[in-house]
Amino acid sequence: MMMKVEAPIHHTFTGDNLIPETVAQLARSLSLELTIAPEAIAKMNASRKWVETVAQTGKPVVYGVNTGFGSKANVSISREHLQELQYNLIQSHASGTGEPLPIDVVRAAMVLRVQTLVKGYSGIRPVVVERLLEMLERNVVPWIPAQGSVGASGDLAPLSHLALVLIAPTKPTETDYSKAYWWNPQQEAWELLPGKEALRRAGIQPVQLEAREGLALNNGTQISTALLTLAYVDAEQLVKTADIAMALSLEALRGIRRAFHPAIHELRPHPGQMATAENIRRLIEGSTLVDSLKEQVQDAYSLRCHPQVVGSVRDTLAHVRRVLTVELNSTNDNPIILPDEPDENKAFSGGNFHAQPIAFAADFLAIAMAEVGSIAERRIFRMSDKNLNNGLPSFLIANGGLENGLMIAQYTAAALASENKSLAHPASVDSIPTCENQEDHVSMAPIAARKARQIVENVMKIVAIELLYAAQAVDLRARETGQSPQELLGAGTRVVYETIRREVPILETDRPLYGDIDTIARMVRSGALLQAVEQAIGTLR
């Protein structure tokens, strides 16, 4: 998680202007200035006016306004209990368990909840949404357990934990069940507090829910979508960094550039494949290590098939982006209020809360990113094996036997790659009925998205290990030739080698490697390596 204190980021919510990168930027910044577009407020007021009429007259019967929820939709609720109905909904549904979601995920979910509400079809008062904006601006982040949602009827349990902070009790005699993080600017750290106390420190008043508003807050796909959005943004950056690591490994192994010739890829013109091959060509341009084994005809698949494998990942990510772009700008709760419809009942019960599109996209991303780690691990193994690495010592260390070198770092990469294979099993093929079989098919999207995020994190570490190996191998090649690594490397790989070596020295004798791996993983995660390379050779595709 990358949280930044910087110049304020300004954003106006219109209901249709979010892209994944904007969500990540808002979720990971501690300095925001947020507003709602006037036309969005007008639309919210229009749907709210109709809900208030229903609440006052009792007519027509509208799900979640004057009825119970789920299988209790046929239970009528009297006018005097409508506020209690919404309060009970949030209290009862805050039933999650497990470790808390990361702060950036919760902030992303808050951004997405605001976005769907300002579209104006949920019947919620603008003041409630404005409180959510205040929480984002003043860095109050609900504590939300990660487990407990099946991804249909919305992410009910986690979103109820979010709303629980918003409705923190105002009377001293009431128990505050909510918890929230508050950014303490003096200590520059997050503090976990009772929700009421976090709001007080931030100068935010809790809200009293009115008719429909509890359901407007906890019915939707925002937790699943937040997880997938951040995983997607990180994956896009990671795939470029994986190209950088592969290019450095190609040089370390004295590979062949002909496999990346544009003519080959134009004959099978998958967009991702062509983009990947182009990246490799640009990264190794000027290298004297590639093509230096004149007797070698072709490389192993983990080298020459990288464009075909990682190119397919790029094409999968393009599909995920299309799904996310729709979902980020959609109304996905229930019922949907359509104030311009001629029917007396302007509330339409549908299934926009069902997160199947997100579940599929998350599983696709998980499968694809697991392959990025899998092919990278094969290159790590190849560099470590004296029978496969074209003349380098075992485990890339002199005096092998006494010194173990990079032996065990390959085990770590193998463990991560194997874990990813287990995590990549699709969650979206599962469904367990809930709510007395009223909700008899569910998506399991939050599980799919959490797995995808974990796989992306694991692959960051695998790529970091590949970079550790490749930099070490390049140093050994330089000693063979009597030249400096900078003289041997290509335009892009030279930069990544220098960036790594500023913080991680060559391995001369055995030392614990966890610090080296963590240091390079931080460079991968933050984008520092990618940024350094792109500053030198331009933006990678």
For residue 209, give both structure tokens.
Answer: 């829910």
Alpha carbon distance 21, 33 (integer Å): 17
State whether residue 97 is helix, strand or coil: strand
Cα distances (angstroms) measured from residue 342 to each of 39, 101, 529: 22, 43, 57
DSSP string covering 509-539, please? S----HHHHHHHHHHHHHTHHHHHHHHHH--
Euclidean distance between CA atoms 281 and 492, whole angstroms: 10
Structure tokens at 275: 């983009």
Tell me which residue of 163, 148, 297 sits closest to 218, measured CA to CA. Answer: 163
Query: Exposed, middle or buried: residue 445 (CB in 10 Å: 0-12, 13-18, 19+)?
Result: buried
Residue 230's nearest CA partner among 140, 138, 132, 365 is 365
- Nearest Cα residue to 117 out of 48, 169, 190: 48
Task: Retrieve residue 285's tokens.
Answer: 């341009």
Q: How many CB atoms lie within 10 A of CB 42?
A: 11
C-alpha of 328 from chain center: 13
Sequence-separated (6 or more) residues with CB below 8 Å from residue 321: 20, 232
**Selected catalytic residue, list 63, 232, 469, 497:** 63
Name every residue whose Cβ is closer than 8 Å to that of residue 18 and which is 6 or more positions away in sequence. Answer: 111, 112, 115, 328, 329
- CA dist 293 and 299 (Å) reads 11
* Secondary structure of 34-96 as H, E, C letters: EEECHHHHHHHHHHHHHHHHHHHHCCCCCCCCCECCHHHCCCECCHHHHHHHHHHHHHHHCCC
Q: Could you give the 3-state DSSP secondary structure of residue 146?
A: strand
Rounded Cα–Cα distance for residues 355 and 520 (Å): 35
Cβ-Cβ contacts under 8 Å for 121 (sequence gap 6 or more)? 43, 47, 331, 336, 337, 338
Q: Examine the residue annotation and report whether 63 is marked as an active-site residue of this protein.
A: yes
Cβ-based neighbour number of residue 294 at 10 Å: 5
> Which residues have CB under 8 Å from 59's CB, separation 6+?
none
CA distance 513 to 299: 29
- Give the residue numbers annotated as catalytic, written as ranges: 63
